[in-house]
Structure 1
Amino acid sequence: MYSWSEALTLTSASAWDELFTGLHGASRISVPDREAPWRARLEWQQSTAYGVALCAGGREVVQRETRHIRSDPRGTYELLVPLAGTAWVEQGPSATEIRAGSMVLCDIDRPMKFAHDADFLSIAFIMSGENISARSRIAAAEPQLLGAERGLGRIVRQLTTTLHEEREELSERTFDLACDRLLDLVCLAAEGGTDTAPAGQRATVEAAVRRYVRQHACEPDLDVVAVARALGWSVRYVQQVLQDAGTTARDLIRRERLNAARERLAGPGWASYSIAQIAHSCGFGSHASFATAFRAEFGTTPSEARRRRAS
């Protein structure tokens, strides 16, 4: 399907509901007074894989709940790019305010609440989750706020706006190709490619990552993907934060596993366990790799460390 609409103006809130849910998925829409005069504007272009929609309407609250998702699953993400006014997005444990100068990326198949003022004007870039997963490991359990005033975020905002403005000049193939390039940049921005997070925020993320790794180091499947997913950050952003701190997720996990192993080798509660069993309990796949890493980290072998603590 490839379709577009030219500056459609609506004077009925009910007609708006039908068009809005057709584009964004089944939802419960609340407006202050459905009998009051209503005026809204909607322009969109949509292919099988992508959609771009400009929306302007009266004050409203949109709630997409679990029952809506079950009845109308979309498998899509949306990047909401405000041009004027203010809106609020709640998803998972987070609530985010957006206005011109910021953007938010949301998984439409997770329960969410969206509210905006009467003067809110925005463009939504709609993309399939399959296209995102082919490029990135973004896990949007909650809205991801992206800056749009400088750097990569500003480029994403400008391309989204230009794509909407030039939509009628594009064939379906050209439209999809342009959306492909825009999606590449959205994924990069969502993974921390903007490099605009303040130092204080990066320090907070680093501390959270170190704490999580310390608490879960002995889980055999722990890796940077699991850490990022658990903490709600992108993989690339976690990697960047650790790189700035002079380490990597692999090194951090290995070091914490070795610290746990050294404590267990010295602990009386683990005296009946073999060194291989302790290595396995700390997340190491083989005794040999554990022994090599232990000696490189502490300058002694696991056997020597156990004997020294026992003497």
Structure 2
Amino acid sequence: MQNYLEFSFKISPLQPWNEILMAELIEIGFDSFTEENDGILGYIQKDLFNDNQLKNLPLFQNKDVKVEFSFTEMPNINWNEEWEKNFEPINIDHKVLIRAEFHESVPGMHEIIIQPKMSFGTGHHPTTHLMIQQMMEMDFKNKKVLDMGCGTSVLAIYAKQIGAGDTKAIDIDEWSVENSKENAERNNVELDIELGTAENLGKDQYDIILANINRNILISDIPVYESVLNNGGQLLLSGLCFFDVDDILEVCTENNLKMKKRLQREEWVSILLEK
């Protein structure tokens, strides 16, 4: 069990900055959040917290939003157990249900069953929701798939369930890798799961690449994705706010990737591109 710090962030105006702040906090080690009427509560392991990283977040330099925060140290309790108690199933367009084993099944819906540990990508975040919405309209049959920044591997699992061939999942977080292995077994699918980044990618080529990460990593890694994407292959991106899209598309154009479809949910965006 880990000692955690609880941060209370007061945000004005609340929208869309609460979601943007959560995305930035994830990048510096925060692993769970609770939304409140005037802001969010964010949680981070005490030994992972870096005061300079927090104070230098881009959002704190933005004149369009005011953020105030305070924090307290939390008692040494099992946060996984606490988080599981509040985990709710995710219904995507009444077609796909992401649930834990302790939730009831819903007849007629495609189900992905995950153990709700504190890995990003449970489906609650709008970007994961957007990725699955896009995937529902894509052809994965016998395609070779790569899931970058896989989190719980919910996207890789869904790809396998709807017909994908060899599927690799990569994440920089050890917790996510272990959780992905458990979730793959839980859903009776075979995944090649690795700890690492885009630097892990060798000469293997893929038909579909899924990357639900964040703007800066995507901009850095898109040239690598293009290099391992087959001609006619598809790159599905999210982790983007609406104001990131132009920058992303500029990099994609430079790398011979053309946008085919864009979806938006709240301030978050998913883009499907083709090589």
Superposition TM-score tier, normalisation by shorter sequence: under 0.3
TM value normalised by structure 1: 0.24
Pick the structure with more helix per residue: 1
TM value normalised by structure 2: 0.26
